[in-house]
Amino acid sequence: RVTFRAKQNLQAVGFGEVAIDARDWENNSISCVFRTTSSGNAGILPAHFALYQNYPNPFNPTTTIKFALPTANEYRLEIFNIAGQKVASFSGYSEAGYVTINWNAENQASGIYFYKLNAGAFGATRKMALIK
């Protein structure tokens, strides 16, 4: 029996291959090849809270904001303009995993915006630029 375990959460798209070539006491060869594929992070849970940089950045007029929740949690994502005025807010509850928010800033002016995530005791803020 052969077992493989990752030492950390792996987030990759692609394929992998493991080849095993063994010989018995009579020097007969036994070969096995194991192939695996991954279409993303399905089934992989984050180990830590994280707020990722939006993409694209700069953007016009839509952008994607992604964050990681290692446990089920309520969250609030707020977006502020450079003057500190709240221009958008997203809130909800999510199971552990990755959450993606798409923001359409079609009715906003070009400029620098800040997005702030609060989830449980975690809080983080990042900056983004809207260029029209």
| pLDDT tens per residue across span 17-67 | 666 667 777 877 766 666 655 555 456 788 899 999 999 999 999 999 999
Give the pLDDT confidence score for residue 98 in this predicted structure: 93
Give the pLDDT confidence score for residue 57 in this predicted structure: 96
For the chain, the structural domain boundaries read: 50-130
The pTM of the full predicted model, rounded to 2 decimals, is 0.68
Q: What's the sign of the alpha-carbon dihedral 112, 102, 77, 91?
A: positive
Enumerate the H helices of 33-116 as residue ranges: none
With b for 16 or more beta-carbon neighbours within 10 A and e for fewer, the 85-124 pattern comes to eeebebeeeeeebbbebebebeebeeeebebbbbbeebee
Could you tell me the end-to-end alpha-carbon distance of the chain, in angstroms, rounded to an integer? 59
Query: How much is the average pLDDT of 108-123?
Result: 96
pLDDT in tens, 84-113: 999 999 999 999 999 999 999 999 999 999
Give the CATH number of domain 50-130; options: 2.60.40.2550, 1.10.3720.10, 1.10.510.10, 3.30.450.40. 2.60.40.2550
